[in-house]
Each structure stands twice: as structure tokens, then as C-alpha cells.
């Protein structure tokens, strides 16, 4: 077996591994998106009162509010115009921070792995026909 054939076989193994891993990552990212759903950005107002702090926001044509924990209140930088995120399916759910980037990271890793699989496949095919 010459060098071109050896590299072709190695490229094929890499391609299959990267394709399987990449498609798995993309499937996980899709499942996370389906289960969690999209989070939309909105502006919220924090109102401090005797009973604690309350956050109010407008979503889906209605106004919503909920109490803030002391830890959440400590992270509020601008009570008059605080950026927040509400769940599209459940506008009553609100986060004062950007949703976790896990889905995005898993999706990017999946795309990179599928790209590696494509490149390895092309290299393997070229070396198979050249060698």
C-alpha cells in the first residue's frame, strides 16, 4: 500500500467519524431548540417597593410582571431600561441575562465537524483517483 492509498484510507475514517459526530451535534442542537424554544429580547422596567423589587415587561401584546430575587436585583444595571429575554411560547417566563449559549456552541461544533468530513471526503477521493 503506497502513501496515497494510506492517506486516502485515513481521510475516509476521519470523514466518517467527523460526519457521525457532526450530525449528532446538529441533532442535539435541534432537540435543544425544539425543547427550549426561542428566547426573544425585550426591555424591562424594575420597580423597587416595600415588598421587594418587581420586573415588568411587554410581550405578545400584553404586560407581565414578576418579583425579583435579591440576587437578580443585584445584577440590574439600569432599572429604567433593563434588557431582558422572554420565552416565545411562554411570555410569562423572563430572564435578565442572555440565554445560555450551549445550543449555539453545539451547533457550531456540528457545522465544523461536517465541514471537516466534507474536506476529508474530497481529499480521500482525490487521492484514491490520483494514486
Range of the domain at 29: 3-130
Residue 76 has pLDDT above 90, yes or no: no
CB atoms within 10 A of CB 127: 20
Domain count across the chain: 1
Residues 101-128 have pLDDT tens digits of: 888 999 999 999 999 999 999 999 998 8
22-68 residue pLDDT tens: 999 999 999 988 888 888 999 999 998 888 899 999 998 899 999 99
Amino acid at each position: 500500500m503506497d502513501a496515497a492509498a494510506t492517506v486516502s484510507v485515513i481521510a475516509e475514517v476521519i470523514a466518517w467519524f467527523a460526519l457521525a459526530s457532526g450530525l449528532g451535534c446538529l441533532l442535539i442542537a435541534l432537540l435543544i431548540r425544539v425543547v427550549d424554544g426561542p428566547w426573544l429580547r425585550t426591555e424591562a422596567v424594575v420597580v423597587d417597593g416595600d415588598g421587594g423589587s418587581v420586573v415588568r415587561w411587554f410581550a405578545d401584546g400584553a404586560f407581565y410582571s414578576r418579583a425579583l430575587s435579591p440576587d437578580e436585583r443585584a445584577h440590574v444595571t439600569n432599572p429604567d431600561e433593563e434588557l431582558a429575554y422572554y420565552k416565545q411560547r411562554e411570555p410569562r417566563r423572563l430572564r435578565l441575562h442572555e440565554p445560555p449559549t450551549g445550543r449555539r456552541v453545539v451547533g457550531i461544533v456540528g457545522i465544523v465537524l461536517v465541514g471537516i468530513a466534507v474536506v476529508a471526503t474530497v481529499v480521500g477521493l482525490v487521492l484514491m483517483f490520483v494514486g
